[in-house]
């Protein structure tokens, strides 16, 4: 591990000033991803600014009727929070589907959004990877890519974003608040992650040195009936090979409102807007759910080893929305 200096920030202004003055500095949250990557040399900061003691650890209702989640709220506290479980259950389920109890106690909401891909070539510094070393090539495209992206990828990178939490946040139109030395700003999650293109090393639209301070969920009555479903290669404690967050409002057998987002399919949590558009006003049922999944996946491009993801996602969508529709009918 490269040597680094360490400072514990006590206020947001001070933390942001430290990163503004030192481009080699990084914020340290729970450290569950950053410290791991520093051990292997993938991340090599010269300075860590510990933000865990900043007063950003609260979950508060907003005036509009949504929830504002502080950036240093731990995954555990987010998933245990009564308002989250009651009003956005898919978010609690998504968080609980990720990592282990130990890691959820450490990991923060802000860090979750900024975690790096688990593509095996990104984490192996002996092999080419455009995300880690721009211009070096993508080892996954011709190598092991069973968990590679099927949507929005490019020839330069096929890595998927590993977050479960982010999938639910994408479904519920979360907005990311941040602070820089120049002032504060906001980014809807839909604009937070950059398209892969030929710059897979540039992952977010956050300005240099920005500190995520909160994630805000707008009010969404439909979210009260929502679920997160995750498929992985073992029963627990593994990254998704496909996942979906869904919310459904059905009246008289007709889809009145719907939210759908996919995980482990792209470089960022994937909001399935084509599927949502197709479902509105349709009779709630397996045929419509399957057609909506197909519409979303029409743009998919599979690699040699990951074509399984298309039927996997189609089945996920059908079973998830069917379950929600049956709950609505009860």
Per CB under 8 A, residues contacting other proteins are 1, 3-6, 8, 28, 31-32, 35-36, 38-39, 47-48, 50, 52, 57-60, 70, 73, 76-82, 85-86, 89, 92-93, 96-97, 99-103, 105-106, 235-237
Of 99 and 211, nearer to other proteins (C-beta) is: 99
Of 28 and 248, nearer to other proteins (C-beta) is: 28
Q: Shortest distance, CB of residue 89 to other proteins, whole angstroms? A: 5
Q: Shortest distance, CB of residue 191 to other proteins, whole angstroms? A: 28
Q: Shortest distance, CB of residue 13 to other proteins, whole angstroms? A: 20
Q: Shortest distance, CB of residue 285 to other proteins, whole angstroms? A: 24
Of 102 and 136, nearer to other proteins (C-beta) is: 102
Buried b / exposed e over 232-271, threshold 16 CB at 10 Å, is beeeeeebbbbbbbbbbbbeeeebebbbbbbbbbbbbbbb
Helix (H/G/I), strand (E/B), else coil: 78 = helix
Of 96 and 212, nearer to other proteins (C-beta) is: 96
Full DSSP string of 101-139: HHHHHH-BHHHHHHPPP--TTTS-TTS-BTTTSTTS-BH
Measured CA to CA, the distance from residue 285 to residue 271 in angstroms comes to 21
Helix (H/G/I), strand (E/B), else coil: 1 = coil
Measured CA to CA, the distance from residue 208 to residue 196 in angstroms comes to 18
Q: Shortest distance, CB of residue 266 to other proteins, whole angstroms? A: 23
Full DSSP string of 270-304: EE-HHHHHHHTTSBPSHHHHHHHHHHHHTT----T
Pairing state between β 211-217 and 175-180: antiparallel
Q: Shortest distance, CB of residue 280 to other proteins, whole angstroms? A: 26
Residue 163: which of 104, 233, 223, 239 has the closest Cα?
239
Of 98 and 152, nearer to other proteins (C-beta) is: 98
């Amino acid at each position: 591990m490269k040597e680094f200096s360490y400072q514990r920030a006590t206020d947001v202004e001070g933390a942001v000033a430290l990163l503004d003055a030192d481009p080699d500095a990084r914020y340290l949250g729970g450290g569950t991803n950053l410290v791991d990557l520093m051990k292997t040399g993938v991340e090599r900061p010269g300075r860590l600014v510990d933000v865990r003691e900043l007063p950003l650890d609260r979950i508060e209702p907003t005036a509009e009727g949504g929830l504002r989640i502080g950036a240093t709220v731990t995954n555990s506290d987010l998933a245990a929070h009564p308002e989250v479980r009651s009003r956005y259950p898919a978010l609690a389920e998504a968080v609980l589907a990720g990592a282990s109890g130990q890691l959820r106690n450490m990991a923060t909401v802000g860090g979750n959004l900024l975690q790096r891909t688990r593509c095996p070539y990104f984490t192996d510094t002996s092999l080419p990877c455009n995300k880690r070393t721009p211009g070096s090539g993508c080892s996954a495209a011709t190598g092991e890519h069973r968990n590679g992206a099927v949507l929005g990828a490019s020839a330069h990178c096929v890595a998927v974003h590993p977050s479960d939490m982010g999938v639910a946040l994408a479904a519920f139109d979360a907005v990311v608040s941040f602070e820089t030395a120049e002032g504060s700003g906001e980014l809807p999650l839909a604009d937070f992650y950059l398209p892969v293109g030929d710059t897979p090393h540039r992952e977010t639209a956050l300005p240099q040195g920005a500190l995520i301070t909160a994630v805000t969920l707008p009010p969404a009555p439909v979210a009260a009936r929502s679920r997160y479903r995750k498929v992985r290669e073992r029963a627990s404690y593994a990254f998704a090979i496909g996942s979906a967050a869904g919310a459904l409002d059905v009246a008289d057998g007709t889809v009145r409102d719907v939210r759908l987002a996919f995980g482990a399919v792209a470089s960022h949590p994937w909001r399935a807007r084509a599927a949502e558009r197709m479902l509105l006003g349709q009779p709630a049922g397996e045929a419509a759910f399957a057609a909506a999944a197909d519409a979303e996946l029409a743009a998919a491009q599979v690699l040699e080893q990951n074509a399984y993801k298309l039927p996997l996602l189609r089945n996920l969508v059908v079973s998830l929305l069917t379950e929600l529709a049956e709950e609505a009918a009860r």
